Amino acid sequence: MHSSSQTLNGSEIFFECLRRENVEYIFGYPGGSLLKVYETLYDVKDIKHILVRHEQGATHMAEGYARATGKPGVVLVTSGPGATNTVTGIANAYMDSSPMVVFTGQVPSSLIGNDAFQEADIVGITRSITKHNFLVKDVKELAITIRKAFFLATNGRPGPVLIDMPKDILNASGAFHWPETVEIRGFKPTITCHINQVEKAAHKIAKAKRPLLYVGGGVISAEASEELRAFAIQQNIPVTMTLQGLGAFPGNHPLSMGMLGMHGTYWSNQAVNACDVLIAVGARFDDRVTGKIETFAPDAYIIHNDIDPTNVDKNIMVDLPIVGDAKDFLATLLKETPKMVENRDSWLADIQSWREQCPLTYNKEDGALRTEFVIDEVSRQTEGNAVVVTDVGQHQMWTSQYYTFRNPRSIITSGGLGTMGFGLPAAIGAAFGISDRPVVLFCGDGGIMMNIQELVTAVHYKTPIKIFLINNSFLGMVRQWQELFHKEKYSFTDLAESNPDFVKVAEAFNCKALLAETPESAKAAIKEALAYNEGPVLVDFRVMKKDMVFPMVPAGGSITEMLLARLNPKTMV
C-alpha cells in the first residue's frame, strides 16, 4: 500500500483507493480509454480482476456479488460502447437497491463533446438510473470522488454510483491523499427511527388482533433478519415476504407465509386483505405486490418503515410512516412492544384454513417433469441453504413458491427491472463472494441466451455454479399471458424450432452438462450437479412446455381475486 501524500498517476491512485475500500474483485473488460489502468493492473496482485465477456455481464456479476455478500460490487469498463453496455445492469441495481460502483473510462478531457472515437455521455445517460454519478475533471479529485462513491453506494438505501474517468486523468500525476472521513452535505440519510413513532407503532401492534408483517429487501440489506425473527416470534405475528424479502424470515418456520402479491401464496393475500395492522418493513408497495391499490389491505392500519422517505406515501398512503433503518426499527420495536397482550390463535387459525383451502400444488401423478418438481427437489437436496439466483419469468415465480429459503441473502433475482439475462452472470458474481454454500441458478431457455457468453467466464475461473436450465422451449411467462389474456395468440414466444441443443452449447464452452427429461433422471442430475465442484455444471431440464404459474392475480386486479388453476381460468375466488 502506498502512503498518503505520495505522487502517483491516476491509475495508481485508482487501485490505491480500491485497496482502501477493501475491494476484493473487479468485474471488468479492457479498452482504449483504460489502457493505463490495465497497464497498472498487470502488476496488481491483491485485487482480483475477473474478465467478463460483455460489459452487461460485469454489472450483473457485480450485483450478484453485492447481494450475496452485502459488499459493494465493482465494475470497470471502457468508454463509449463499454459504458453503454452497463446501462441495463446499472438500472437493475438501481431498481433493486444493490450497492455497486461502476468505473467507466472516458475519452480525454480535451475531446469530450467532440463526438470522439468511443465517446458517450455516460454521466448524462445514467443520471436517472444511478444514485449519483461523477465525471472526474482533475486527478486531484480522483481519490475523494472514489471515497464519496463508495460511501453513497453503501449508505442509506444502497444503490449504484458511477464514476467517469477521462483518459488524461488516469495518466496524469498527482499527490495521493486518502480522505479518512467523507462529508456530503446533501446526503444525510435518516438511520435512527423517531422514537415517538416507534412507540406509537408498538402500541398499535400490541393491541392488534390480526397483525401481519410484510417485509422486503430492506430487511436483508439492513442485516435485520435476527431482529425480525425475534420480533415476529415474540409477538406471534405471521410474516409475508416480497420477492426480494424471501429469506429475511426462515421459510420453514410456522409463522412464515411465503411471498405475497401477483404470484404470492393464496393465504398471504387473504391475510393482507383481512389484517387489522399491517407492518411494512423495508418494502415499497410495488404494483406486483399491491395489485389494485384501492382494495389493498382495506381494513388495516398501515405502519411503514423504510430508509428512503420517497418510498413512503408513494403508492399507498400509510397511517404511520417511520423513516429509518430496518434494523434500528425492528430492534426498537422489539424493546418497546409489550409481550403478547393479544391472543392471536384465531388469526393464525384463519391463516391455516386459507393454507389448507388453496395450498401450493402441482400435478405429480402423470410422470411428467415439471419446474415445480425440480425446484422442490433442489430445495430438499440443498436443505434450503443454497444461494439461489434466478433469471426472470415463470421459473422465477416458481422459485419463490417452491424453494424454502432459510437464510437471508439467499435469493438473488431481478425484481424491479425484470431483466432477462440477469441470472447467469449474477450467479457467477455470487459464487465469487460465497464459498461455504452452493450457488444455484434457475434460468429459462429464453433468458440464458441473453448472456450465454458469460459461461466462458464461469468455465475460465472454474466457478462452481449449478446452472439449472428450466427448458420449456417457450418464453413461458409471456406465453402464459398470451393464453390467458391475448386470445391464445402465441406471438413469437415459441422457441422450440430455434433453440440450440443446450448440452452441446455447454460442452462447446467446456462446461460439464447433463440432460434430464424425467423426474427420476432430474433427481439424479441434481445430485450429481450439487456434488460437482470443479467448475460450472449445466443441467438441461426438459420440462412441460405449457405449464402455468398459479395462483395468479391478473394485472390490475385485487390481490384476493386469484386465478387458481388453468382448467377454469374464469374461477375467481
Partner 1 sequence: MKHIISVLVENKFGTLNRVATMFSARGFNLASISIGETEDPEISRMTIVTFADDQIINQVIKQLNRLVDTIKVTDLTKQPHVERELLLMTLKLSKTQQHEIFELINVFKGKVVDIKQKSITIEVIGSPDKINTTIDIFKPYGIKELARSGAVAIHRGE
Could you give the residue numbers annotated as active site? Answer: 55, 117-118, 167, 477
Helices then strands, each counted (H, E), the chain: 22, 20
- Residue 113 as a binder of partner 1 (CB under 8 A): the answer is no
Least distance from C-beta 26 to partner 1, angstroms?
Answer: 24
Span from 48-56, 230-238, 304-312, 508-516 in contact with partner 1 (CB under 8 A): 304-312
Instruction: State how beta strands 7-9 and 173-175 pair.
Output: antiparallel
Which residue in 5, 45, 181, 186 binds partner 1 (CB under 8 A)?
Answer: 186
Least distance from C-beta 313 to partner 1, angstroms?
Answer: 6
- Residue 184 as a binder of partner 1 (CB under 8 A): the answer is yes
Which residue in 3, 5, 43, 185 binds partner 1 (CB under 8 A)?
Answer: 185
Least distance from C-beta 131 to partner 1, angstroms?
Answer: 7
Span from 182-190, 206-214, 248-256, 271-279 in contact with partner 1 (CB under 8 A): 182-190
Span from 24-32, 128-136, 279-287, 410-418 in contact with partner 1 (CB under 8 A): 128-136
The answer for residues whose C-beta is within 8 angstroms of residue 359's C-beta and 6 or more apart is none
- Residue 127 as a binder of partner 1 (CB under 8 A): the answer is yes
Span from 201-209, 212-220, 303-311, 542-550 in contact with partner 1 (CB under 8 A): 303-311
Chain positions 59 to 88 lying near partner 1, rule: CB under 8 A, are none
Cβ-based nearer residue to partner 1, 126 or 471: 126
Phi, psi angle pair for 334, to nearest 5°: -60, -40
Cβ-based nearer residue to partner 1, 311 or 401: 311
Phi, psi angle pair for 331, to nearest 5°: -65, -40
Q: Please tell me the distance from the alpha carbon of residue 379 to that of residue 438, in angstroms, as a whole number.
A: 12
- Residue 124 as a binder of partner 1 (CB under 8 A): the answer is yes
- Residue 340 as a binder of partner 1 (CB under 8 A): the answer is no
Span from 170-178, 288-296, 312-320, 328-336 in contact with partner 1 (CB under 8 A): 312-320
Chain positions 229 to 268 lying near partner 1, rule: CB under 8 A, are none
Cβ-based nearer residue to partner 1, 45 or 185: 185
Which of 55, 99, 38, 102 minimizes the C-alpha distance to 74? 102
Cβ-based nearer residue to partner 1, 305 or 394: 305
401 neighbors 36 (Cβ within 8 angstroms) = no
Cβ-based nearer residue to partner 1, 302 or 452: 302
Cβ-based nearer residue to partner 1, 220 or 318: 318
Q: Please tell me the distance from the alpha carbon of residue 196 to that of residue 408, in angstroms, as a whole number.
A: 29
Q: What are the beta bridge partners of residue 102?
A: 75, 162
233 neighbors 261 (Cβ within 8 angstroms) = no
Least distance from C-beta 77 to partner 1, angstroms?
Answer: 21
Strands laid side by side in the 301-306 sheet = 256-259, 239-241, 211-215, 277-281, 301-306, 320-323
225 neighbors 248 (Cβ within 8 angstroms) = yes
Widest Cα–Cα separation across the chain: 73
- Residue 284 as a binder of partner 1 (CB under 8 A): the answer is no
Cβ-based nearer residue to partner 1, 129 or 224: 129
Which residue in 76, 146, 152, 469 binds partner 1 (CB under 8 A)?
Answer: 152
Span from 30-38, 291-299, 313-321, 443-451 in contact with partner 1 (CB under 8 A): 313-321
Span from 139-147, 311-319, 379-387, 423-431 in contact with partner 1 (CB under 8 A): 311-319
- Residue 309 as a binder of partner 1 (CB under 8 A): the answer is yes
Distances (CA, A) of 503 to 21, 198, 336, 431: 41, 55, 57, 22
- Residue 101 as a binder of partner 1 (CB under 8 A): the answer is no
Which residue in 226, 287, 299, 313 binds partner 1 (CB under 8 A)?
Answer: 313
Least distance from C-beta 284 to partner 1, angstroms?
Answer: 13
Cβ-based nearer residue to partner 1, 124 or 359: 124
Which of 293, 367, 206, 221 minimizes the C-alpha distance to 555? 293
DSSP symbols for 362-416: ---SS----HHHHHHHHHHHTTT-SEEEE-SSHHHHHHHHHS---SSS-EE---S
Which residue in 195, 293, 317, 573 binds partner 1 (CB under 8 A)?
Answer: 317
Q: How many residues bind partner 1 (CB under 8 A)?
A: 19
Distances (CA, A) of 386 to 389, 409, 529, 532: 9, 10, 13, 14
- Residue 131 as a binder of partner 1 (CB under 8 A): the answer is yes
DSSP symbol at 533: -
- Residue 128 as a binder of partner 1 (CB under 8 A): the answer is yes
Span from 30-38, 127-135, 376-384, 481-489 in contact with partner 1 (CB under 8 A): 127-135
DSSP symbols for 299-338: TPEEEEEES-GGGTTSSS--SEEEES-HHHHHHHHHHHSP
Least distance from C-beta 332 to partner 1, angstroms?
Answer: 23
DSSP symbol at 447: G
Q: Please tell me the distance from the alpha carbon of residue 475 to that of residue 5, in angstroms, as a whole number.
A: 56
- Residue 196 as a binder of partner 1 (CB under 8 A): the answer is no
- Residue 319 as a binder of partner 1 (CB under 8 A): the answer is no
The answer for residues whose C-beta is within 8 angstroms of residue 388's C-beta and 6 or more apart is 399, 403, 405, 410, 411, 412, 440, 441, 442
Which residue in 36, 54, 132, 147 binds partner 1 (CB under 8 A)?
Answer: 132
- Residue 308 as a binder of partner 1 (CB under 8 A): the answer is yes
7 neighbors 176 (Cβ within 8 angstroms) = yes
- Residue 367 as a binder of partner 1 (CB under 8 A): the answer is no
- Residue 487 as a binder of partner 1 (CB under 8 A): the answer is no
Distances (CA, A) of 540 to 60, 210, 355, 459, 466: 22, 45, 33, 17, 11
Distances (CA, A) of 374 to 203, 250, 281, 446, 530: 45, 21, 31, 18, 13
Rg value, the chain, Cα? 24
Cβ-based nearer residue to partner 1, 133 or 414: 133
- Please give the residue ranges that form the binding site for partner 1 (CB under 8 A): 123-124, 127-128, 131-132, 135, 152, 184-187, 308-310, 312-314, 317
